[in-house]
Structure 1
Amino acid sequence: TDVGAGDGETSPVGRIRDAQVIWDEDMYPHQAHSDLQCADDGIVLTIQGEAHKARYDPGPPARLRWTDGAIWVREDEPLEDSDAPHTDNDVGGALPETGGES
């Protein structure tokens, strides 16, 4: 699962697999993975004890819209330098929130 930073660029920072974010070791050397949980009001990602919430948008393309404004977008292709197999759960770079809720 390719996940991006909210810097306006497509910046992969990890993969989502089996309800976990597996962080890119170059960008997040001290954070190997984080668990995702489903909640009544969306998806919760807990990092260092702090809960972050997202709403799933089926798209296309599918997206996770985080309450901090970041958006993770599903990618159709794995990263070129990734040796991990492609799965249906690949997600790509975050984009800054533009406009209101859709």
Structure 2
Amino acid sequence: MVETPRASLGEARPIWGQSLAATEVDHMVVLYSSQNYYVVEYPMQCGLEVIDRQTRRGVFLTGELASTIRVSMEHVLAENPSQESMDQFLGEFEGLLTQPVILH
């Protein structure tokens, strides 16, 4: 079983410098975790979940939109951004985060 990097809810843990490639056995891959945002990829469902921890809202995306955001994240992470820059990038998707997060 492949271990997924974990972070506590209060700890900023961007997954810098790691490949965003997932293997067939990964059920979920934490792509980014900070005090403000949490991004998880679900390779088996071809899905991407983005959660705003401050507003407690999120979205689960599949298809072309999920792929587009994932590729954009790869480009941003390749530039080795600061946490503030990455959070600002994810903030651009605020309008998509409409589902209340009750349990996670």
Is the TM-score greater than 0.5? Answer: no
Whose strand fraction is larger, Structure 1's or Structure 2's? 1
Structure with the larger RCO, 1 or 2 (CA within 8 Å, 6+ apart): 1
Whose helix fraction is larger, Structure 1's or Structure 2's? 2
